[in-house]
Amino acid sequence: MSGDPELEAMAAVLEILKPLAPPMQGRVVHWVLERLEIGSHMPIRAPNTAQESPDEQIVLGMPAGPRGFSVPPPALAWTRQNGITGQELECTFHQTSEGLSVIAAKMPGNSRREKVLNCYLLSGACSFLSTGEANFTDQKARELCEEFGCLDTTNHTKYLREKGNEFVGSKSKGWSLTAPGKHRVALLIKEIASLNA
């Protein structure tokens, strides 16, 4: 060997992964990144196989062409647990080097209050899918409310008091999605995708 510990580690990992099928390689590498808390945002590219559809590749963090979404390991696990497909992500978000933005045609909700709370949930999802952390600022959520025409400065604080247990925090310190919030926003993403289908 060269004596370079980094190159030796790369050669050893490559040798261990080579016999595995591409989807298995991707899962092993993602698990290692998550375990070491590296939080890499780099997609793991693998050849397209007959057993995988493009959507499955996206959910596994292996983008297929322009529809690919690169997500950190905690968010990747969340997409798998909730059966969120690449097509559903594509109907809801646009990914750039600066993160995600919501591109839904309209914000679901039967009232202004519901739409505001959905904007807050989607702001948390943008952060979670971009960074692996479900923390988001009040300013970002308000900007999303404004974008979808549901910011009601008179009642906004009242709506937030009625948010339930889906996100916690405050306007000054920021917010964070809870487990129920992550589950709710997964359903919201599916609802948006069905509306845009």
Contacts within 8 Å (CB) and 24+ apart, 162-168: 162/113, 162/117, 163/117, 163/120, 166/117, 166/121, 167/120, 167/121, 167/124
Residue carrying structure tokens 């600066």: 98
Segments of the chain with pLDDT less than 50:
1, 39-67
Please give the angle made by the CA atoms of 76, 54 and 47, to the nearest 5 degrees: 90
176: tokens are 């964070």
pTM to 2 decimals?
A: 0.68
Q: How far apart are CA 31 and CA 33, in angstroms?
A: 5
pLDDT tens string 90-144: 899 998 877 889 999 899 999 999 999 999 999 999 999 999 999 999 999 999 9
